[in-house]
Structure 1
Amino acid sequence: MALGIGTLLMEDGPQKEWYLSLNKAPWTPPGWIFGAAWTTIMLLFSFYMTKLSFEYKFLDKKLLSLFIAQWMLNVSWNYFFFNQQLTVVGLVSITLLWLLIGYFTFEHLNKLRMFTLLILPYLIWMTIATSLNAYIVFYN
């Protein structure tokens, strides 16, 4: 659901002249990688969150609040960055999302052990995505 809403909020942003004309990081992957990466990441994150929710009482308020914050940051980045072309606000949003995913990863490491591998692609991708956004902010 987040992927669909995020896509709607960016309004074909990656194909618009504004984005195409930006000075992008040399490590920017081809466009098709983004769709494949996000689909894989969201599937793995769904399994991760399911396992995590079984470790806590059903609908734990803190866990649910953090999940909602993650969802909102993830979706809103598309709107800020692509739709409104607010690259600095996008950078703040994606940095907060990166920190939150880092929190999920390390806060529950002892409890989830090997299941933590399910969230590592999200953390790695957020590191790359944050660096791509930062490059655009600093070099445009």
Structure 2
Amino acid sequence: MKFLKIFIVFLIINFGALGIGSWLMAEGPQGDWYLTLEKAPWTPDGWVFGAAWTTIMICFSVYMSFLYLKRPTQKIIVLFAIQFILNVSWNFIFFHQKLVDIALIDIVLLTIIVTAFLFTYVKDLKAKSLFILPYLIWLCIATSLNLYILLYN
């Protein structure tokens, strides 16, 4: 029961981040600016982003729930808060402000934080650490997409 309560809290926070991020991105991927960019050949179709982020946030909520139950420390909360801010702000920086270079810095920092979660707590969570892998894999893909746009536009 304790896991379920914490899991629901993390689900609300993580899906809240997606909602805030969507709200902050103005027209986002449907806007003229984005549609006219030269995008990487491996850029997924639009529907993939929604499916990926839904899966990622469910898995990340499971991961954070296990981690918080194992180590309910201030450090975990601070890392999670930094991750939240970087995740939400990328949408604003990239889509709303069109600052592709600053967005790249943001997403690299986000990738570092998620990687730090994985490697710092793998001994504590063991196989449960697999729940953070979809997030890390997606961030690597998204970082490559951001970099491509920076280099070719």
- TM above 0.5, yes or no, is yes
Work out the CA distance in 2 between the residues paired with 1:43 and 1:81.
24
Q: Which residue of 1 aligns with 2:45?
A: 30
Q: Hey, which bits of structure 1, 4+ residues long, moved more than 4 A?
A: none
Deviation at 1:113, TM superposition (A): 0.7
**Equivalent position to 1:80, from 71, 93, 116:** 93
- How much does 1:33 deviate? 0.2
Identity of aligned residues (%): 54
AA aligned to 2:27 is D
Letter in 2 for 1:84: Q
Task: Please give the TM-score of this superposition, normalised by the length of structure 1.
Answer: 0.97
1:74-107 per-residue CA deviation (whole Å, 9 max, x = no partner) reads: 0000000000100001000000001111111111
1:111 alignment counterpart: 124
Please state if 1:120 is matched with 2:133.
Answer: yes
Tell me, in whole angstroms, the C-alpha distance in 1 between the residues paired with 2:28 and 2:66: 34
Matched residues in 2 for 1:14 and 1:3: separation?
A: 15
The root-mean-square deviation of aligned C-alpha atoms, in Å, is: 0.6
- Aligned position for 1:64: 77
Deviation at 1:135, TM superposition (A): 0.4
Q: Does 1:133 align with 2:131?
A: no
CA distance in 2, matches of 1:105, 1:28: 26
